[in-house]
Amino acid sequence: MKKLILFALALGLLASCEKKEPTLDRTDFVVITDVIPDAILEIRYYSTYNFVGTRIDGYEQPIAMMTRRAADSLKAVSDDVKAHGYRLKIWDAYRPQRAVDHFIRWAEDVQDTAMKAFFYPMVDKSLLFEQNYIFARSGHSRGSTVDLTLVEEATGKELDMGYPFDWFGVESHPDYCGNPDKMEFEEQEGGLTSVQFYNRMVLRAAMTRHGFEPLDSEWWHFTLAGEPYPDTYFDFPVHF
């Protein structure tokens, strides 16, 4: 009997380790602007202005979606920054697996460098997998990750973060020209200005205050701590 129980447990452990297929269930997702009506949207993967240069598979409407819990936490961020004269501008949130698959196909075609000058001028496209710019799975597909920045409410201008969204390079790292944990700027020739570094820290501080965790390679990328679907990848298209 003991051997049978151990065997059953082993089978259960193996099953839990198998890669789950992406799901089409969208039950727990909301449109972010339904929760944060004044959020500014610039959904890059619905447009052709992105590192691929075409609309990305699965982006059927220029909207942003997240799990309900993540959207509620982002609303708290929005209320926080509005008190300081800022609004949230969102480039991407939930990303279907089919979009990630599109990125992979694009990365495998090393001859397609149409957008290199705008997003990866200093990176050899053939090294995108090796240098961890492109992955087979993305945290965005779990539904509680968002790419965003801050806009001055008075002027309508984005805060100057030094380098743009989806810039492939060390310049996008939060610790570029400083220590983000201590929020200390370190001057570097040709690097960020103190204002640019500080602007990144304003966004980072607001996001972390309300339960989001930063990524160490992208100043714009945050994931809700304790996200509701840490092991589930979704693949329903982005549309209402």
Catalytic residues: 218
Q: What is the pLDDT of residues 188-233, one digit of tens each?
A: 999 999 999 999 999 999 999 999 999 999 999 999 999 999 999 9
What does the pLDDT profile of the chain (240 residues) look like in tens digits? 434 333 333 434 333 334 578 899 999 999 999 999 999 999 999 999 999 999 999 999 999 999 999 999 999 999 999 999 999 999 999 999 999 999 999 999 999 999 999 999 999 999 999 999 999 999 999 999 999 999 999 999 999 999 999 999 999 999 999 999 999 999 999 999 999 999 999 999 999 999 999 999 999 999 999 999 999 999 999 998
> Is 6 a member of any domain?
no
- Give the SS3 label for residue 69: helix
22 Cβ contact list (under 8 Å, min separation 6): 96, 97, 141, 233, 234, 235
- How far is 29 from 68, CA to CA, in rounded Å? 5
Note the pLDDT of residue 19.
Answer: 56
Helix (H) or strand (E) holding 17: helix 2-17
> Is 4 a member of any domain?
no
**What is the domain extent for residue 123?**
24-224
Number of domains in the chain: 1
> Is 150 a member of any domain?
yes
> Is 84 a member of any domain?
yes
- Give the SS3 label for residue 179: strand
Beta strands in 182-232 (DSSP E): 184-185, 212-215, 218-224
> Is 78 a member of any domain?
yes
Note the pLDDT of residue 21.
Answer: 84
> Is 104 a member of any domain?
yes
- How far is 108 from 125, CA to CA, in rounded Å? 9
54 Cβ contact list (under 8 Å, min separation 6): 48
Note the pLDDT of residue 17.
Answer: 38
- Residues in the chain, how many? 240
> Is 236 a member of any domain?
no
> Is 10 a member of any domain?
no
Note the pLDDT of residue 240.
Answer: 87
CATH of the domain at 104: 3.30.1380.10
